[in-house]
């Protein structure tokens, strides 16, 4: 279990993708990564973090985008254009940011599940394409049911103390890794920030150097 | 003259590249843009602004990178990787940011000169590849001489009141255009921020829509 927590093995073709369900560029990266990585036989670990906790440690109240209306307005315009470029559905949600702890705990508790990537994409799309309130347990339950998963089995494990502690620990480790935003890709000892660095992260993973 | 100041003609294949000589990602964009744009017969206007003045209007003391050491450390790592990817020389300067008003005034006064792009690249390389103090007039004089240009002719026009006023006006217009960082590409009515959006800006310029 611990080997999952501490860095990627430098000999493996593996990318650790740190994300928060409330982060629009994380949506783009998580939705794109599987196809790109699979084409190169790269393993991807999707690692949810509580980005707000990292922001707080850095002395920020919230997302740096929120601190400046002009930058925030541009961000939405940019995400919309990027989503179109990648043929991903997108609609600006009315509430931003949003509480993302419940889906983050599910992704933490079920980090090995074969349905993890699909679940993450479904949650992202609920929020960033269908304006659903992903902080509402009913939204998450509905997603699980639509995926033929059993909320009665999944939700209790997601809200267990073990899962809570684990998500907290992973967030602290992300902070130790000098992460300051999402998505962040960690490949070997290199940190790549932002959806636009996904291709660079893959290239680095393949070559083992940059 | 005024047509140069106010936005791009929507029917032309033209990109307005707003930059500051003190901005590392502006270096990457200005060094890359000519070849990419020429391949598509796109006209590029290099438009220097006083980015610090825009930051101040937004309530920032300086570059947002400087406000957070972790983000600043990543930025240098990222610029180094990107420069290598683009086969551009790069060495982290010891002083950052740096006063960039003198070369900005030259680029303002000689916005139509055939040597403008080359001059801009030389100034960027002096700062971001050879650790030269581009706030020092001697550095700029040396660059001009190496380009077989006459500093005695160029520097007085660069420091004229007309040029000062013009740079101030262009910076105010950039602010009106909602620019918040550099490089920024303006194509028709769309704003693209960051060197990583150069290809998108070109694509948008060619298609006329996004």
Burial class (CB in 10 A: 0-12, 13-18, 19+), B208: exposed
| Cβ B33 vs Cβ B118: under 8 Å | no
**A76 contact B CB<8A:** no
| Structure confidence at residue B3 as a pLDDT band (50, 70, 90) | very low
| Cβ B182 vs Cβ B23: under 8 Å | yes
Bridge partners of B45, per DSSP, are B16
Indicate whether B2 pLDDT > 50: no
pLDDT digits (tens, 9 = 90+) for B135-163: 999 999 999 999 999 999 999 999 999 99
| Structure confidence at residue B209 as a pLDDT band (50, 70, 90) | low
**Alpha-carbon gap, residue B45 to B14, rounded angstroms:** 8
Q: CA of A74 to nearest chain B CA: how many angstroms apart?
A: 8
pLDDT digits (tens, 9 = 90+) for A148-203: 999 999 999 999 999 999 999 999 999 999 999 999 999 998 999 999 999 999 99
Indicate whether A9 pLDDT > 90: no
- Prediction pTM value: 0.92
Indicate whether B186 pLDDT > 80: yes
Q: Are residues A71 and B180, on separate chains, in Cβ contact within 8 Å?
A: yes
CATH of B13-207, one of 3.40.50.10860, 1.10.3720.10, 3.30.450.20, 3.40.30.10: 3.40.30.10
- A34 vs B59, which has greater pLDDT? A34
Indicate whether B193 pLDDT > 80: yes
Superfamily, domain A14-207: Glutaredoxin (3.40.30.10)
pLDDT digits (tens, 9 = 90+) for B61-90: 777 778 789 999 999 999 999 999 999 999
**Alpha-carbon gap, residue B57 to B50, rounded angstroms:** 11
Count how many pairs of residues, chain A against chain B, have C-beta atoms within 8 Å: 49
> What pLDDT score was predicted for residue B10?
46
- A145 vs A5, which has greater pLDDT? A145
pLDDT digits (tens, 9 = 90+) for A16-35: 999 999 999 999 999 999 99
> What pLDDT score was predicted for residue B206?
93
The stretch A45-49 carries a mean pLDDT of 98
Whole-number average pLDDT of chain B? 93
Alpha helices in chain B (DSSP H): 24-39, 51-57, 69-85, 101-109, 116-128, 137-146, 151-158, 161-176, 198-207
Using a CB-CB cut-off of 8 Å, the residues of chain B touching A190 are 77
**Alpha-carbon gap, residue B123 to B126, rounded angstroms:** 5
| Cβ A54 vs Cβ A23: under 8 Å | no
> What pLDDT score was predicted for residue A66?
81
Indicate whether A8 pLDDT > 70: no
The stretch B178-202 carries a mean pLDDT of 96
> What pLDDT score was predicted for residue B56?
92
**A178 contact B CB<8A:** yes
**Alpha-carbon gap, residue B111 to B153, rounded angstroms:** 15
**Alpha-carbon gap, residue B24 to B82, rounded angstroms:** 11
The stretch B118-130 carries a mean pLDDT of 98
What DSSP letter does each residue of A178-210 carry, written as one string?
Answer: T--SSSEEEETTEEEESGGGHHHHHHHHHHS--
For an interface test with A, the pick among B68, B80, B83, B87 (most A C-beta atoms closer than 10 Å) comes out as B68
For an interface test with B, the pick among A57, A60, A85, A178 (most B C-beta atoms closer than 10 Å) comes out as A178
pLDDT digits (tens, 9 = 90+) for A77-117: 999 999 999 999 999 999 999 999 999 999 999 999 999 99
Strands across the sheet containing B14-19: B43-48, B14-19, B184-187, B190-193
Q: Where are the domains of chain B?
A: 13-207
Name the one residue in this structure whose structure tokens are 């040396």: B142
Q: Are residues A196 and B196, on separate chains, in Cβ contact within 8 Å?
A: yes
Whole-number average pLDDT of chain A? 93
Distances (CA, A) of A88 to A31, A56, A83, B38: 8, 31, 5, 31
**Alpha-carbon gap, residue B143 to B129, rounded angstroms:** 14
Q: Are residues B73 and A178, on separate chains, in Cβ contact within 8 Å?
A: yes
């Amino acid at each position: 279990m611990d080997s999952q927590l501490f860095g990627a093995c430098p000999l493996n073709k593996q990318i650790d993708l740190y994300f928060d369900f409330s982060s629009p560029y994380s949506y783009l990266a998580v939705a794109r990564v599987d196809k790109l990585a699979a084409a190169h036989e790269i393993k991807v670990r999707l690692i949810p973090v509580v980005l707000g906790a990292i922001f707080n440690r850095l002395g920020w109240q919230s997302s740096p985008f929120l601190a400046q209306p002009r930058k925030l307005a541009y961000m939405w315009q940019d995400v919309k254009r990027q989503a179109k470029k990648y043929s991903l559905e997108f609609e600006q949600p009315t509430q931003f940011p949003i509480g993302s702890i419940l889906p983050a705990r599910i992704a933490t508790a079920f980090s090995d599940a074969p349905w993890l990537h699909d679940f993450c994409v479904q949650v992202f799309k609920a929020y960033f394409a269908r304006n659903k309130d992903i902080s509402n347990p009913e939204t998450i339950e509905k997603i699980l049911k639509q995926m033929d998963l059993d909320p009665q089995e999944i939700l209790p494990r997601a809200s267990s103390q073990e899962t809570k502690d684990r998500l907290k620990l992973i967030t602290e480790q992300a902070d130790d890794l000098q992460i300051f935003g999402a998505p962040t890709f960690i490949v070997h000892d290199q940190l790549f920030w932002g959806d636009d660095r996904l291709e660079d992260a893959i290239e680095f993973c393949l070559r083992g150097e940059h």
